[in-house]
Structure 1
Amino acid sequence: MSSPPVIAIIGRPNVGKSTLFNRLTGKRSALVSDMPGLTRDRREEEADLAGNLVTIVDTAGLEQAKRGSIAERMRQQSEAALAAADLVLFVIDAREGITSDDKSFSKLARASGRPIVLVANKSEGRAGEEGFYAAYELGFGEPVAISAEHGEGLSDLVGEMLAALGLKYVRPGEDAEEPPATARPIRVAIVGRPNAGKSTLVNAILGEERMITGPEPGLTRDSVPSDLEWLGRKVRLFDTAGLRRKAKITEAAEKLSASDAIRAIRFAEVVVLLIDAERPFEHQDLTIGDLVTEEGRALVIAVNKWDLVEDKQKTLKELRETLGERLSQVPGVTLVPLSALSGRGVDKLAKAVLDAYDSWNRRVPTPSLNRWLEEALARHSPPAVSGRRIKLRYITQPSTRPPTFVAFCSRPEDLPKSYIRYLTNSLREAFDLPGVPLRLNLRKGENPYAKHKR
Structure 2
Amino acid sequence: MNTPLRTPNVGKSALFNRLTGTKRAIVYDQPGVTRDRMYIRAFWGDTEFMMVDTGGLESLPGSPEDAPSVDTVGGFEILPGMVESQAALAVNEAAALIMVCDGQKGLTNADEEIYGWIRKYHSKKPLLLAVNKCESTTKGEEQVLDFWSLGGPTPLAVSAISGTGTGELLDGLVAALPPPSPEDLDPSWKDEEGDGPLKVAIIGRPNVGKSSLLNQLAGDARSIVSDYSGTTRDTIDSDVIGADGKKYTLIDTAGIRRRTSVAASKDAPESLAVGRALQAMRRADVVVLVIDAEEGPSQQDFVLSERAAVQEGCALVLCVNKWDRIDKDTYSMNEYTKTLRSKLRVFEWASVVYTSALTGQRVQKVLQAAAEASVHHRKRLSTATLNSVIQEATLWKSPPSKAGRKGRVYYVTQASTRPPTFVFFVNDPKLFPDTYKRYMERSLRDNIGFPGSPIRILWRGKGAKGKK
Q: TM-score, normalised by structure 1?
A: 0.57
Deviates more, 1:240-249 or 1:329-338: 329-338
User: Using a 3 Å threshold, how does the CA distance of structure 1 residues 237 and 344 change in structure 2: closer, same or farther?
Assistant: same
SS in structure 2 of the partner of residue 195 of structure 1: coil
**Aligned equivalents of 2:463, 2:345: Cα separation in 1:** 31
Q: Percent identity?
A: 39
Q: C-alpha offsets along residues 215-261 of structure 1, whole Å, 9 cap, x if unaligned?
A: 11111100010001121211111000000012212222001000000
TM-score of the superposed pair, with normalisation by structure 2: 0.56
Aligned partner of 1:240 in structure 2 is: 253
- Distance of 1:333 and 1:309 partners within structure 2: 22
Is the 8 Å Cα contact of residues 196 and 274 (structure 1) preserved in structure 2? yes
Distance, in Å, in 2 between the alignment partners of 1:287 and 1:318 is: 23
State how 1:35-434 maps to structure 2 within 5 Å.
Answer: 180-230=192-242, 231-249=244-262, 250=265, 251-294=267-310, 295-311=312-328, 314-434=331-451
Q: Over aligned residues, Cα RMSD in angstroms? A: 2.3
**Can you give the 5+ residue segments of structure 2 that lack an aligned partner in the other structure?**
1-42, 45-190
- What is the CA–CA distance in structure 1 between the aligned matches of 2:226 and 2:383, rounded to whole Å? 51
**How far apart, in 2, do the equivalents of 1:181 and 1:392 lie?**
34
> Would the alpha carbon gap of residues 312 and 434 (structure 1) be closer, same or farther in structure 2, given more than 3 Å must change?
farther
CA displacement at 1:321 relative to structure 2: 2.3
> Is the Cα contact below 8 Å between 2:400 and 2:431 reproduced in 1?
no
Aligned mates of 1:286, 1:312 — CA distance in 2: 27
Deviation, structure 1 residue 211:
1.1
The one-letter code of the counterpart of 1:246 is R
Aligned length: 273
User: Following the alignment from structure 1 to structure 2, what is the Cα–Cα distance between the partners of residues 315 and 267?
Assistant: 35
- How far residue 283 of structure 1 moved from its aligned partner, in angstroms, is 1.9
Aligned equivalents of 1:182, 1:322: Cα separation in 2: 39
Whether the aligned pair in 1 keeps the contact of 2:372 and 2:452 (CA below 8 Å) is no
- Per-residue deviation, 1:372: 1.2
Paired residue secondary structure (2:208): coil
C-alpha displacement at 1:331, in angstroms?
2.0
Aligned-partner residue type, residue 241 of structure 1: A
More displaced, 411-420 or 254-263? 411-420
Look up the equivalent residue of 1:290 and give its one-letter code.
E
Letter of the aligned partner of 1:258 in structure 2? V
2:7 matched to which residue of 1?
none
Structure 1 spans left out of the alignment, 5+ residues: 1-26, 29-178, 449-454
- Which AA in structure 2 matches 1:261? A
DSSP 3-state at the match of 2:457: strand
**CA–CA separation in structure 2 for the residues paired with 1:241 and 1:200:** 12
- 1:349 Cα deviation after fit: 1.4
Indicate conservation of the 8 Å contact 2:296/2:340, yes or no: no
| Matched position secondary structure for 1:329 | helix
CA 1:419/1:183 → structure 2, altered by over 3 Å: closer, same or farther?
Answer: closer
The C-alpha deviation readout for 1:155-203, integer Å capped at 9, x for no partner, is xxxxxxxxxxxxxxxxxxxxxxxx9512411110100111111111100
Query: Separation in 1 of the partners of 2:192 and 2:212?
Result: 34
Partner SS, residue 372 of structure 1: helix
Equivalent pair of 1:276/1:303 in contact (CA under 8 Å): yes
Q: Secondary structure at the match of 1:236?
A: strand
How far apart, in 1, do the equivalents of 2:300 and 2:348 lie? 19
**In the alignment, residue 386 of structure 2 is paired with which amino acid?**
L
